[in-house]
Chain A
């Protein structure tokens, strides 16, 4: 399922990242890689703040939807 649907506070493993190369590359440099653990900390109308590799990253809905967990 996409990250937007993940339950708040529950750690998930990233299965896949979809989308254009450029965006995917950027997400990867932020630590979003397949197999990495990601936790949604809070969610407002599809926009999420998640925890990955000890940082908090804010993502809008369209970006969060590209991360499949």
Chain B
């Protein structure tokens, strides 16, 4: 039987950092609370018989959000062999609140006093020996970011797990409460000899419904317990839950007083000073907009753009294709095979890989922002705006995660307590441009808007705008009405981004991007090449007469009102459902076929010739907002929990994408003097509908009756 050790602690105390260090994995680490939403397992490096379990962060064993339930259930019901309780030493009082609860479970506990380096830097001193004595368990100083102490903690936990030593805290609650707890312990037979008896007694005292249910007590016992509780409540003039909370904090402050010596109590920390500027009432939003603009400007238009240009124009334009073709011709390869390799694989996959540099630069910038602690502030800044539109700042976190990939983005919605908010967030999260949509943005911005700095950042802001507009509109429909969830969030300290974390983020993204290019996208490109090179009788033809063209021409008219009713764009968009990079890959194959067969010049020039800027922008917007790739659709299905909501989500996304693109294209045409009677009018009607939905007063009455019915 392997030994199971759980990592438990407050959000953002460094559990995942330690987990990665102990198991050698590269789980996502972020400097904000709520990064980990699922429990993760790994084997201890050097001892394969030890399983380390990473849990979502919790503030107490009374869970508040969905992901906290995961942690409590594991700790209380499945019972690991030992718990490593990670305590943020720079914020020891609050962190020990959870510790006092963990010690009651009766499972061996080792405390990892993390971020001890920060404490030392502040000039504070923590007496480990006294702390360990008072808490009745071992305490080890660690600095997970630097990797110090993690191994010692794990080693201690393994020893304790095999011995099964229960923690024996020295601190005691007040006599009245202690007496009541002991009375309950003795009264309830099923817990009297249980190793978690203290935990059960406290929970019964707090009238925890789940525990009451679990223990299946008879009426007589319940009445007896109620008597005990009421007596104490009357004596202390408070409700039982608050009594316990106060007892805990009182004990903690006694423990802390003896073992922690703070140099200076209330001074403005560096983080506070930075916050004075970055979360300033007037400056916060402009600073945020400027930073995001800069990030996209650097990664898409300038630094990343130059690298991508070189890869696209030189590496996959002038160097690789002729070299490969030359080689294949020299070995006497069949014509069709040359076409498959040069046009299909090199053209398609190359088109996608070309955007790797831009992506790496973008993720470098984003992970710096994330790791230093700024992103958590954005959630706070955005809360004020989101709240006006019926959402809370908490919805921003999934959106932030979705800039990497929509799948974890959708999953991150679990941190939202309120059901209707969570649904709206799941529906709208994928509006954010993810890494796979980046090639589309970069392609359009690069090929169609050569000198423009606004196109790439605009994709980001269009995403946010789509989310906000959706928030307003959806909140007016049945099933979504209700006040936004309260926003409470701990803001992490600012720190210099760790090169290790930043590079892990960056290379993780790059790796999965390259992996996808070598698998799904490669296959799709071969498929596209085949379908676009042969006709129905399987003879090789020009792309215009191919199977793909004939299929594409059937669906293309749907997109004609959006300005890009040619079959190539339609096919690319559909192909994007498999993976969004495929949009660009398909272009690479389709335009590559024509170009290479003529003179082997660059592909993108052909694209410029066949699109107007307006049509290109409409194409970009449609692909940003429409239904995400199959992987993300799967995630939406899982988080929604039923097919009906999944379909509503997909229908809404695609419908919105179509409407917005239509409006952009038709209004653009109108301003250039090309009014289309039917679609121009449709666009005007759509705008009117949007305005109506945006400003329509919320039907409060209906909301109230629904609430009444629900309760």
Name A residues whose Cβ lies closer than 8 Å to a Cβ of B: 11, 21-23, 25-31, 33-34, 36, 39, 41-45, 47, 49, 51-60, 62-63
Contacts and interface: CB of A to CB of B under 8 A. Distances in A.
A21 B489 CA distance: 18
B112 to A, nearest CB: 18
B635 interface: no
A27 B241 CA distance: 13
Contacts of B489: 57-58
A26 B59 contact: yes
Interface in B96-114: 97-98
Nearest to A48: B380
Interface size class of B (residues with CB under 8 A): 35 or more
B97 A31 contact: yes
Nearest to A19: B486
Contacts of A22: 64
B486 A58 contact: no
Contacts of B491: 49, 55-58
A60 B393 contact: yes
A40 B90 CA distance: 20
A60 to B, nearest CB: 4
B290 to A, nearest CB: 18
Contacts of A42: 275-276, 279-281
B599 interface: no
Given A33-B249, A41-B272, A41-B275, A53 B93 contact: yes
A13 to B, nearest CB: 13
A54 B90 contact: yes
Contacts of A58: 379-380, 383, 393, 487-491
A54 B94 contact: yes
Contacts of B90: 54
Interface string B236-269: 0000011001100100000000000000001000
B488 A63 contact: yes
A43 B281 contact: yes
Contacts of B493: 56
Interface in B264-313: 266, 271-272, 275-276, 279-281, 284
Nearest to B285: A44
A21 B62 CA distance: 11
B62 A25 contact: yes
B637 interface: no
Contacts of B60: 25, 29
B91 interface: yes
Contacts of A55: 91, 94, 490-491
26 contacts: A23-B486, A25-B60, A26-B59, A26-B64, A27-B488, A29-B64, A30-B94, A31-B94, A31-B97, A33-B245, A36-B249, A47-B380, A47-B384, A52-B94, A54-B91, A54-B94, A55-B91, A55-B490, A56-B491, A57-B489, A58-B379, A58-B380, A58-B383, A58-B487, A58-B489, A63-B488
Which of A42, A43, A51, A58 is most buried by chain B, counting CB atoms within 10 A of its CB?
A58
A33 B60 CA distance: 14
B387 interface: yes
Interface string B59-77: 1101010000000000000
Contacts of B249: 33, 36
Nearest to A45: B384
A63 B486 contact: yes
Given A41-B272, A44-B381, A59 B488 contact: yes
Contact of A30 (B284, B483, B490): B490
B392 interface: yes
A26 B488 contact: yes
Contact of B281 (A34, A44, A63): A44
A27 B60 CA distance: 11
Interface string B355-396: 000000000000000000000000111011001000011000
Given A30-B490, A49-B275, 9 more contacts: A26-B64, A29-B59, A30-B59, A33-B246, A41-B276, A49-B491, A58-B488, A58-B489, A60-B383
Contacts of A28: 242, 245
A21 B490 contact: no
Given A30-B490, A58-B491, A44 B59 contact: no
A60 B387 contact: yes
Contacts of B93: 31, 53-54
Nearest to B392: A60
B97 to A, nearest CB: 6
Given A41-B272, A60-B487, A49 B97 contact: no
Contacts of B387: 60
A41 B97 CA distance: 24
A41 B587 CA distance: 52
A41 to B, nearest CB: 6
Contact of A56 (B392, B483, B490): B490
Contact of B284 (A27, A44, A53): A44
A54 B487 CA distance: 20
B137 to A, nearest CB: 20
B599 to A, nearest CB: 59
Nearest to B206: A25
Nearest to B483: A62
Contacts of A31: 93-94, 97
A39 B269 CA distance: 13
B487 A47 contact: yes
Nearest to B92: A54
B64 to A, nearest CB: 4
Nearest to A21: B241
Contacts of A43: 281
Contact of A25 (B241, B275, B280, B392): B241
A16 to B, nearest CB: 11
Contacts of A11: 266
A11 B267 CA distance: 12
Nearest to A11: B266
A66 to B, nearest CB: 9
A18 B290 CA distance: 39
7 smallest beta-carbon distances between A and B, as pairs: A29-B60, A60-B487, A29-B59, A58-B380, A56-B491, A53-B94, A26-B64
A12 B687 CA distance: 50
Contacts of A29: 59-60, 62, 64, 97-98, 245
Contacts of A39: 266
A23 B59 CA distance: 13
B384 A63 contact: no
Contacts of B266: 11, 39
